[in-house]
Amino acid sequence: MSKSSPLTSRGDYYFKWLSAVCAFITPLLMAGIFFELLSNSMPSIKKFGVGFLFSQNWNPVTEQFGAASSIFGTIVSTLIAMVIAVPLSIAIAIFLVELARPKLSKTVGTMIELLAAIPSIIYGMWGMFVFGPFMAKYVQPLLQGTLGFLPFFQGPPMGLGMLTAGIILAFMILPFICAITRDVFQLVPNVVKESAHGMGATTWEVTYKVTIPYGLVGIIGALFLGLGRALGETMAVTFVIGNAHRISPSLFAPGNSIASTLANEFTEATELIYLSSLIELGLVLFVITYLVQMLAQYMLRKMYKSWSVGL
Amino acid sequence: MTSDTLQPENLAAPYYDTVPGTPVPKISVRHLNFFYGETQALFDNNLDIAEHKVTAIIGPSGCGKSTHLRIYNRIYELYPDFYAEGQVQVNGLDVLSPKTNVMELRKKVGMVFQRPVPFPMSIFENVAFGLKQHYRLNKSETADRVEKALKGAAIWDEVKDHLDRPGTSLSGGQQQRLCIARAIVVEPEVLLMDEPCSAIDPLSTNKIEALIHELKSRYTITIVTHNMAQALRVSDFTAFFFEGHIIDFGTTEEIFDRHSLLDEVPPKEKLRELLENQPKYESLS
Amino acid sequence: MKPRPPTGRRLMDLMVSVWSVISALLGIGALIWILSGVIIRGVGALNLDFFTRLPTPPGLGGGGLANALLGTLAMTVVATLLSVPIGLLAGIYLAEFGQESWIADQSRFSANVLMGMPSIIVGVFAYTLVVLPLGHFSGYAGVVALAILMIPVVTRTTEDMLRLVPNTLRESALALGAPRWKVTLAVVFRAAKAGLLTGILLSVARVSGETAPLLFTALNSPYWFSSLSGPTPNLTVTIFNYAVSPYEDWQRIAWAASLLITVSVLAFTLAARFVLRTKQ
């Protein structure tokens, strides 16, 4: 009677134990992060309660803090990024999988992946010194000229602000969404695509009616992954969002995000309540990101039927 | 090839305890059942493997031949859902007991797999790997034993000038002989071969079959094969498997005659009949 | 149902194809625009002084970021030394022992979530874990933050690469009487060498360009790098400080540092892919 055990020696017992401990470090870290964020936010939670989430106050002098403008900025910049990145990503995925020849696809694919490798601060530098002025000089006046009746495009075209931040974020998350979408497209069995082609469908129709529905869960997972990235992006956003604790309907106006607030003010926070409010902001971001990641993992796992998900 | 000392009396029953006075077998299997999760794969296997002889295990695909073989060195333990019940002894050593040191067992019972799998190392290191697990040898001792094993596997002449080349640089047939060298370098008592020629070319197959003939003087060999002609060529005894049961066992000549195996493989219905009519094995003691 | 005219469908297909190509061009264009911007602005200020001198106050010129270079190097190396063994062992557990166990599931899930966690949150965590108790900023806190970022990446790629190694290799080694740990370290690892190295290179690439986790852990310092026990000079936070400053010579140095970081990170990334490709 021997029930299998892959251990063949004493050394194995320790080896398995040690590796299990190391594997457990990651969940431990996650729990630890949550715990530390929560416990260090307590002073702020106690003082401001739930109203913290909705208050636009941000005054280190009077020690009144509220997360509303940061949350607003995080959501709006992310939204802009998604609106731009999603159609682009799917289109590029179509290009890589359906249109380009293998060698070209590989080259272009690598270039898109390099976009992901560029560090956030480089995007920030480029955003502040190159793209921002470009926006201020050409794009924003154009938008204002044509669509200036909309509240979104009013106000002085400074170049730095919500719109610029959103656009830069879009290019930062594009490679992530694109890579997974491309994988999903490639996962669709060729026979399925070929039989659709055989019925006279065009490439687009095959994609639209067969590939995308087949891989919809995976694609949505990819979107959530990109969303999660955009929510937490720090340095790029900090450089170009303008850093003002205000909520404004105009996309040209400066604002801030949770991440940019943390980046800018953390080292300035000398009073306990200031620091605690900042950490509470971090807690909010942590929770939002965690939920988004969880959804993304759930969807992607369904698609891949395993945990092997790309970065 | 017939054996002078052993006369079979039962169908599908090991010889040794039914014919008094016969030598103790090398491997002895009694009432072996094997499970894969909820599914049973082997049913009440009873078998004796004679020392210094080649025993072939044949049968239609999926009938449990390899599964049975892989119990002798407990290699199935790599997979969590598999487990075995029953008694398996190798030279008196209780294979299935949790108290048995499985590394020692594997030193005694070596294995050659279906696909040659050289380690990602040089030819020399491939062969020396087994030595390192069980012995503390200095450089020249190691080199000697590696050479001996490579000679024993009839591949020394082909590789002696480039022992530092990676194991994967050899051809399929050479790789398999390398794997044989790798297995015999620790001087096991038993050599298990799981369809060793099915993934290599006919010329290398011939070489390996000739090798098996030589090796049996030093080792007890159990070979799983789906190639009937090969079983006839190399083996002394044959165990005939069907759907996890052993439906016949005897000298190779007898088995092949009895079931006309050279003409064609008996159809499943015939085999099922054999299975049902088989007498249940009861141990003498 | 009224059949759609073929020309309409073909037109749609064409439009989508054109949009796909345009999108790809936009992506490539963005890459080129960014890289060229960094190269143009950075290459001028990347001189010998940059690599050998300490920072100077704005307006004086002639300064460099030698200390920041050393600091970044030191922190990256220590973070790597800390995270790689943990990541490798964790990956081994997930691939070799823990196919279905609860620990394995939790570990994989957490690793994936942690990889998507904003690096600034990890920085806050390192702050609460190291800076607060010690009472001061330090390179050690920075190292902790960086290591936390690296561990899940190394874990995941290790697991993926080890899983690619066929079981027959493990069986062959086990059948020779080797203990499981030796089979894993001496045989399976060797077979997966290229992939494991790639994972490590990729995680180093990712972390060497990180700024947020260092902002309030290692902080920054204008002095020579001597130890990790206090504020530690580093390239990325320096870029941040210099870029938002109003001083032109500091901004130029920020561009030089940006160029250096971009080139290094891209070099690491491409090297990692190259390693993987050639070994296969």
CA distances C38 to A234, B226, C43, C94, C253, Å, are 19, 66, 8, 41, 12
| Residue C198 touches chain A, beta carbons under 8 Å | no
Dist CA C157 CA C148 (whole Å)? 15
**Could you give the count of Cα atoms lying within 13 Å of A29 in the half-sphere of its Cβ?**
32
Residues A39, A272 contacting (CB under 8 angstroms): no
| Residue B35 touches chain C, beta carbons under 8 Å | no
Find where tokens 């080139």 sit.
C263
B36 has which bridge partners? B39, B82
With CA atoms as reference, report the closest residue to B50 among B211, B236, B256: B236
| Buried-exposed string A23-50: b where 16+ CB fall within 10 A, e elsewhere | bbbbbebbeebeebbeebbebbbebbee
Q: Which helix (H) or strand (E) holds B268?
A: helix B268-277
Window 55-84 of A: residues touching C by CB (8 A cutoff) are: none
Find where tokens 């290599």 sit.
B200
Contact residues of C toward B, CB < 8 A: 99-100, 166-179, 182, 186-187, 190-191, 193
| Residue C53 touches chain A, beta carbons under 8 Å | no
Q: How many CB atoms lie within 10 A of CB C77?
A: 12
Confidence of residue C5 (pLDDT cuts 50, 70, 90): low
Dist CA B223 CA B212 (whole Å)? 10
Residues C107, C98 contacting (CB under 8 angstroms): yes
With CA atoms as reference, report the closest residue to A4 among C162, B270, C96, B82: B82
Strand B27-36 and strand B109-112: the pairing is unpaired
Q: State yes or no: pLDDT of C72 exceeds 80.
A: yes
**Closest Cα in chain B to C168:** B117
Higher-confidence residue of B247 and B20: namely B247
Dist CA C222 CA C224 (whole Å)? 7
Find where tokens 């800018």 sit.
A264
Chain A residues whose beta carbon lies within 8 Å of the beta carbon of residue B98: 2
Given a contact as 3+ CB pairs under 8 Å, which chains touch B? A, C
Nearest-by-Cβ selection for C155 from A26, A115, A308: A26
For residue B40 the two structure tokens come to: 């049973």
Q: What is the mean pLDDT of residues C227-254?
A: 91
With CA atoms as reference, report the closest residue to A165 among A65, A235, A69: A235
Confidence of residue C203 (pLDDT cuts 50, 70, 90): very high
Chain C residues whose beta carbon lies within 8 Å of the beta carbon of residue B103: 177-179
* Torsion angles phi and psi, residue B122, rounded to 5: -70, 165
Chains A & C: contacts with CB separation below 8 Å:
282
Dist CA C25 CA C61 (whole Å)? 40
For residue C111 the two structure tokens come to: 């690793």
CB contact under 8 A, B80 and C99: yes
Residues in chain B: 285
Q: How close does chain A come to C53, measured CA to CA in Å?
A: 23
Quick one: DSSP state of residue B95? S
**Closest Cα in chain B to A10:** B101
Dist CA C141 CA C214 (whole Å)? 8
Q: What is the mean pLDDT of residues B184-206?
A: 91
H helices present in chain A, as ranges: 10-48, 68-94, 102-117, 120-126, 132-134, 140-147, 162-187, 190-198, 203-206, 212-214, 216-232, 235-240, 258-265, 272-304
Side chain identity, residue B270 = K
CB contact under 8 A, B77 and A5: yes
**Could you give the count of Cα atoms lying within 13 Å of A8 in the half-sphere of its Cβ?**
26
Q: How confident is the model at residue A248, as a pLDDT?
A: 87
CA angle C202, C205, C211 (to 5 degrees): 135
pTM: 0.88
Nearest-by-Cβ selection for C181 from A12, A229, A285: A12
**Closest Cα in chain B to A12:** B103
Residues in chain C: 280
Window 54-83 of C: residues touching A by CB (8 A cutoff) are: none
Dist CA A287 CA A67 (whole Å)? 14
Nearest-by-Cβ selection for A2 from B78, B81, B96: B96
Q: How close does chain C come to A12, measured CA to CA in Å?
A: 6
Find where tokens 């002098």 sit.
A61
| Residue B72 touches chain A, beta carbons under 8 Å | no
Q: How close does chain C come to B9, measured CA to CA in Å?
A: 35
**Closest Cα in chain C to B70:** C175
Dist CA A37 CA A54 (whole Å)? 20
Q: How close does chain B come to A2, measured CA to CA in Å?
A: 6
Quick one: DSSP state of residue B280? P
CB contact under 8 A, B103 and C179: yes
Report DSSP letters for C214-251, one per residue: HHTTT---SSPP--TTS----HHHHHHHHHTSS-HHHH
Window 217-236 of A: residues touching C by CB (8 A cutoff) are: 225, 228-229, 231-235
| Residue A311 touches chain C, beta carbons under 8 Å | yes
Q: What is the largest CA-CA distance in chain C?
A: 78
Residues C241, C57 contacting (CB under 8 angstroms): no
CA-based end-to-end distance of chain A: 44
CA distances A6 to A21, B158, C181, Å, are 18, 37, 10
* Torsion angles phi and psi, residue B194, rounded to 5: -100, 95
CA distances C113 to A225, A298, B53, C89, Å, are 10, 11, 58, 19
Chains A & B: contacts with CB separation below 8 Å:
28
| Residue A122 touches chain C, beta carbons under 8 Å | yes
With CA atoms as reference, report the closest residue to B191 among B174, B179, B202: B179
B249 has which bridge partners? B239
For residue B92 the two structure tokens come to: 């008196």
Dist CA A141 CA A136 (whole Å)? 7
With CA atoms as reference, report the closest residue to A129 among B91, C248, C200, B131: C248
CA distances B145 to B127, B129, B135, B165, C125, Å, are 9, 12, 11, 18, 57
Confidence of residue B265 (pLDDT cuts 50, 70, 90): confident
Dist CA B171 CA B128 (whole Å)? 20
Residues B56, B1 contacting (CB under 8 angstroms): no
| Residue C9 touches chain A, beta carbons under 8 Å | yes
Residues A178, A112 contacting (CB under 8 angstroms): yes
Q: How close does chain B come to C206, measured CA to CA in Å?
A: 30
CB contact under 8 A, A2 and B79: no
Residues A172, A225 contacting (CB under 8 angstroms): no
Chain B residues whose beta carbon lies within 8 Å of the beta carbon of residue C99: 80
Dist CA A119 CA A18 (whole Å)? 34
Dist CA C111 CA A162 (whole Å)? 31
With CA atoms as reference, report the closest residue to B100 among B69, C96, B91: B91
Interface test with A, best of B102, B106, B109 (most A CBs within 10 A): B102
What mean pLDDT is reported for chain B?
85
3-class SS of residue B6:
coil
Q: How confident is the model at residue B9, as a pLDDT?
A: 40
Q: How confident is the model at residue B279, as a pLDDT?
A: 66
Window 118-137 of C: residues touching A by CB (8 A cutoff) are: 118-122, 124-125, 127-129
Residues C208, C76 contacting (CB under 8 angstroms): yes
Higher-confidence residue of C131 and B80: namely C131
Q: What percent of chain C has pLDDT over 70?
A: 98
Q: What is the pLDDT of residues B139-171, one digit of tens each?
A: 999 999 999 999 999 899 999 899 999 998 999
For residue C163 the two structure tokens come to: 């899983």
Q: How confident is the model at residue A242, as a pLDDT?
A: 86
Tens digit of pLDDT per residue, chain A (311 long)?
A: 334 454 557 788 899 999 999 999 999 999 999 999 999 999 999 988 888 889 888 888 888 888 999 999 999 999 999 999 999 999 999 999 988 889 999 999 999 989 999 999 999 999 999 999 999 888 888 888 888 888 888 888 888 889 999 999 999 999 999 999 998 888 888 888 888 888 888 888 888 888 888 888 888 989 998 999 999 999 999 999 988 888 888 888 899 999 999 999 998 888 899 999 999 999 999 999 999 999 988 888 877 764 344 43
Chains B & C: contacts with CB separation below 8 Å:
67
Side chain identity, residue C205 = A
Side chain identity, residue A35 = F
| Residue B144 touches chain A, beta carbons under 8 Å | no
